[in-house]
Amino acid sequence: MREVEISRAIVEAYFNDLLGNLQLDVAVVGAGPSGVVAGYYLAKGGAKVAIFEKKLSIGGGIWGGAMGFNRVVVQESAREILDEFGVDYRPAGNGLYVLDAIELASTLASRTVKAGVKVFNMIEVEDLLVKDGRVSGLVINWTPVMMTGLHVDPLTVEARFVVDSTGHGAQISQHLLKRGLIKAIPGEGPMWAEKGEELTVEHTREVFPGLYATGMAANALAGAPRMGPIFGGMLLSGRKAALEILQKLGK
Ligand code: 48F
């Protein structure tokens, strides 16, 4: 066994995948619950989709549950998504269900990868391609390059649709705001679980030609309330974006 053979296997496999994913139907940015669920339903519907995540792990805000108590809650309307993924839950009264955050994060991750979504972690999306008034891809760089501020030029990925699933900061839509391409990102409002859950799904939409927003990014773009450790809206938002995009792709 030679070390260089191990290296060759890794380099070949990784770069074949990267080469194979430079032109996508859909590029999802951010592997939190809404982005991962969007990726899953897009792949299941026949789209070529990859997720770009700046951290090492995928799952975003799921892992810590609430205040580090690693349990999360979903409401009745999101149960069918848990059933689709095969995540266990138990009734907690008043139409709520409680589940293990570790099981949710790991199962979403595993099922999404098995559905055919390529996840590129440790890659930060630092900008967007915008041509003729339409978002048409991503500008990407290694997270460590972004963290250290080294002057290293990025690479690009073409996509027919981009999904901003970057959570509370709506990081991807911010690039449009700073160029005056969208008017405002009001940011999330004070906590109101029921309203926030409802509005997250309602505001999941194409926010600029070629760009969808899901989850907390959709909330931030609309100035809707935050909702804390209830996750049904995130799952429903990811699925809604996926189904709309599939329709626009003619899938
Ligand atoms: O924040 P996050 O989990 O997004 P979400 O799908 O879910 C929100 C909930 O976790 C929670 C909540 C629930 O009720 O309020 O907060 O809206 O995941 C966002 C992911 O995007 C990544 C980030 O590391 C995280 O994993 N991300 C953010 N900016 C970038 C990025 C970027 N520029 N490039 C790549 N990944």
Domain boundaries, the chain: 22-63+103-249
Say what the pLDDT of residue 234 is.
98
- Rounded CA-CA distance 214/195 in Å is 16
- Rounded CA-CA distance 68/56 in Å is 19
Say what the pLDDT of residue 184 is.
96
Q: Which of 58, 234, 235, 239, when mutated, tests ligand 1's pocket best, judged by the most ligand atoms within 8 Å of its CB?
A: 234
Ligand 1 pocket check for 119: Cβ under 6 Å: no
What spacing in Å lies between the alpha carbon of 124 and ligand 1's midpoint?
A: 12
Q: Which of 36, 37, 52, 53, when mutated, tests ligand 1's pocket best, judged by the most ligand atoms within 8 Å of its CB?
A: 53
What spacing in Å lies between the alpha carbon of 205 and ligand 1's midpoint?
A: 17
In the chain, the N- to C-terminal Cα span, in Å, equals: 46
Q: How many residues does the chain have?
A: 251
Q: What is the mean pLDDT of residues 141-168?
A: 98
- Rounded CA-CA distance 40/230 in Å is 20
Say what the pLDDT of residue 200 is.
98
Say what the pLDDT of residue 132 is.
97
CB count within 10 Å of CB 96 equals 14
What spacing in Å lies between the alpha carbon of 166 and ligand 1's midpoint?
A: 4
Say what the pLDDT of residue 172 is.
98
**Residue 229: pLDDT band by 50, 70, 90 thresholds?**
very high
Ligand 1 pocket check for 60: Cβ under 6 Å: yes
Phi/psi of residue 106, nearest 5 degrees:
-75, -35
Q: What is the mean pLDDT of residues 238-242?
A: 98
Per the prediction, the chain carries an average pLDDT of 98
Ligand 1 pocket check for 120: Cβ under 6 Å: no
Q: What is the mean pLDDT of residues 73-89?
A: 98
β pairing state of 134-142 and 155-164: antiparallel
175 marked as binding residue:
no
- Rounded CA-CA distance 100/87 in Å is 9
Given the candidates 2.40.100.10, 3.40.462.20, 3.50.50.60, 3.40.50.1100, the CATH classification of the domain at 22-63+103-249 is 3.50.50.60
Q: Which of 232, 249, 180, 196 is nearest to 33 (CA)?
A: 232
The per-residue pLDDT for range 162-190, each reduced to its tens digit, is 999 999 999 999 999 999 999 999 999 99
- Give the largest Cα separation in the chain, rounded: 60
What spacing in Å lies between the alpha carbon of 61 and ligand 1's midpoint?
A: 6
Measured by CA distance, the residue closest to atom 16 of ligand 1 is: 61
Tell me the three state secondary structure of residue 64. coil
Q: Which of 240, 217, 206 is nearest to 32 (CA)?
A: 217
152 marked as binding residue:
yes
What spacing in Å lies between the alpha carbon of 76 and ligand 1's midpoint?
A: 23
The per-residue pLDDT for range 102-137, each reduced to its tens digit, is 999 999 999 999 999 999 999 999 999 999 999 999
Ligand 1 pocket check for 239: Cβ under 6 Å: no
Q: What is the mean pLDDT of residues 36-56?
A: 98
Say what the pLDDT of residue 192 is.
98
Say what the pLDDT of residue 148 is.
98
193-219: burial string, b at 16+ Cβ within 10 Å, e else = beebbbbbbebbbbbbebbbbbbbbbb
**Residue 34: pLDDT band by 50, 70, 90 thresholds?**
very high
